[in-house]
Structure 1
Amino acid sequence: MGQTIGFSFVDLVEGVKDGHFYALKRILCHDREGRQEAQTEVEMHQMFNHPNVLSLVAHAFVDHGAKTEAWLLLPYMRKGSLWSVLEKLRDKGSSMPEKQILQIFRGICSGLKAIHDKGYAHRDIKPTNVLLDEDDRPVLMDLGSMNRARIEVRGSREAMTIQDWAAQRCTISYRAPELFNVESHCIIDERTDIWSLGCVLYCMMMLEGPYDLIFQKGDSVALAVQNPVSIPPSCRYSEGLQMLLSSIMVSNPQERPNINWVLDQVQDLQSRSPNTQTNMV
């Protein structure tokens, strides 16, 4: 029933009073640092009240002798993750209509904008961290890796610390190029999320992440992300959507757009698509 995510378990529970279903995430805190991390995750949830960022219904810290568990009660999304939806499409030999891609992607961007507007970055955007409700409303989850958007790296020791942290917390095939080899004097900002967002868009179009196969084959993702992403010639989506993908997945973070620009482009594509009426929000 419970699925293990690092040191956490997620169970489906039913509310006695309201009959609603919830996801109960139990995080095992092995030490004070672990407890602090769980506390931070709780605080990150509490910072947002946005339809595209997963809300926290309630939380508690439960002590078992020396060990502590953090319990986070979260809304249960029946459709599951974006990844599970894409996997089902792939198994059927089907694909996601462009209109649906744009609708879901726009929601993901709105949630990310809310996070960036508060001066934070998510740092682990990927299809398994996007939940979908019945109406295809996407919700960003797993706020445990979030931190301040702007990280100033001063010196090689700090660079290594960030690099090690990224290796643990930022999923390899969705990790931005600048996190593989962190430079000694640089600024890492929220545009690491924009790269990951591009990987998610690619995944919605191709039903697999751009670097999933490279990782599975055991080849170097660090090397692969230095080159512009290649869109397979067989891609059937509009030129506009393909251009959006290419403009998001830019290896140099300085040339990568910010979330407002991406959101503008998505809305522009939505207004240009054939059945405009249904796209009006």
Structure 2
Amino acid sequence: MKQFTTADPGAHQQWVTHPRGERPEILHHWMSSDQTEPIIRFRGAAICSSESSPLLHHRIFLEFAEGGSLWSLMEARRALKRPIPEDFVWIVLMNLVEACIRMEEVGVVHLDINPHNVLLSTNHDRQGGHWLDVYRPVLADFGKTHPFGEALGPHDTGKLGFTSPEQFEAAIGISNKSNDKVHVYGIGFTIWCMIRNLGSGLEQSLDSNPPRAVFISPQGTNINPAPPAFSPDPRITVRNDVDLNSSKYSEGLEYLIQQCLIYDPAQRITLEQLGERVGTRIFERGMDQSARPADEFALMDTFDEMFVNADDAIEA
């Protein structure tokens, strides 16, 4: 297990100020204190200044994730022209739900969930104390967090291309609050990018005149009823998922992700509902972790590690 220090050239440096004014290393420590949670591990912090700013900054050091990012895996599978195995998609989904539940327990919402910020780590143990001999997806990059239930501002979009409808609306002056529905959309869209192998997200820009954004939202398909009508801002385009009917994944997975992507947060499922449905599906697929040994989750038969660049391993 690699411990980062200020002298380590491989350590990722992250500059953040938490919106509630707390020191950022405290936020990271809170969220990774329970060693069973799928959260990137906090390794330490230093206070420093720079020539460009007289203010002191907190430099945060996080664990090394040997498997790279989820985006790296998607690129590897694209090179192999093979889809990501559905069992692993469910594992990513389960771990993201658990990570977001943990964040809400400490009163914050992650505003930047995307394939670049989900890392594949071997430093995380399973329930029962057994170390995983395969990658576990963990959530990273807490530079964009927001107090739960408070109003979103114009700079709370996260990475454009992956931001939620309510975040983009807040950026163009439409009032919205952060809550579990932001988490649900972020989780759902990350999984949607996995199963569509779309690492760049959707077209979203605040620099254009006027700002423009595209979102995927179910509008009535063969597996999903249309949600109630809505009228988004004319600067926002909401389109159906044209690849849904040719999907290589199960109807149950596709239906659940469509429920996460509903544009109107009032009609979107809650994080609690998502967690319940994921747990049910994992049990139905015979994937409950208590019933199967860790090596059955190995990706070695379907994922060649040589395609992951170690330099991409920490995007947190």
Give the TM bin, normalised by the shorter chain: 0.7 to 0.9
- Corresponding position of 2:147: 148
Which residue, out of 176, 187, 193, partners 1:203? Answer: 193
1:217-232 matches, within 5 Å, as: 220-222=212-214, 226-232=238-244
* Of 119-128 and 143-152, the range deviating more from structure 2: 143-152
**Which stretches in structure 2 are left out of the alignment for 5+ residues?**
123-133, 215-234, 293-316
- Corresponding position of 1:9: none
1:172 to partner: Cα distance: 1.6
User: Quick one: structure 1 residues 77 and 276, their matched pair in 2 at CA, closer, same or farther if it must change by over 3 Å?
Assistant: closer
Q: Secondary structure at the match of 1:175?
A: coil
Structure 2 contact 18–24 (Cα < 8 Å) conserved: no
User: Quick one: structure 1 residues 59 and 105, their matched pair in 2 at CA, closer, same or farther if it must change by over 3 Å?
Assistant: same
2:68 matches 1:57: no
Q: Secondary structure at the match of 1:194?
A: helix
- Corresponding position of 2:166: 178
Q: Secondary structure at the match of 1:24?
A: coil
1:81 to partner: Cα distance: 0.7
**Same amino acid, percent of matched pairs:** 18
Quote the Cα distance in structure 1 between the aligned partners of 2:19 and 2:193.
33
2:268 matches 1:280: no
How many residue pairs match? The answer is 247
Q: Secondary structure at the match of 1:47?
A: helix
- Corresponding position of 2:120: 132
* Of 254-263 and 119-128, the range deviating more from structure 2: 254-263
- Corresponding position of 1:96: 84
Structure 1 contact 124–193 (Cα < 8 Å) conserved: no
TM-score, with structure 1 as normaliser: 0.75
Which residue, out of 154, 170, 181, partners 1:164? Answer: 154
Quote the Cα distance in structure 1 between the aligned partners of 2:21 and 2:178.
24
Quote the Cα distance in structure 2 between the aligned partners of 1:199 and 1:252.
14
1:245 to partner: Cα distance: 0.8
1:166 to partner: Cα distance: 2.4
More helix as a share of residues:
1
- Corresponding position of 1:263: 275
- Cα root mean square deviation, aligned: 3.2
2:201 matches 1:212: yes
TM-score, with structure 2 as normaliser: 0.67
Structure 2 contact 180–271 (Cα < 8 Å) conserved: no
RCO (CA 8 Å, sep 6+): is it higher in 1 or 2? 2
Structure 2 contact 144–156 (Cα < 8 Å) conserved: no
Q: What do the CA deviations read for 1:92-126 (whole angstroms, capped 9, x no partner)? A: 10111111111122111111111122221011100
More strand as a share of residues:
1
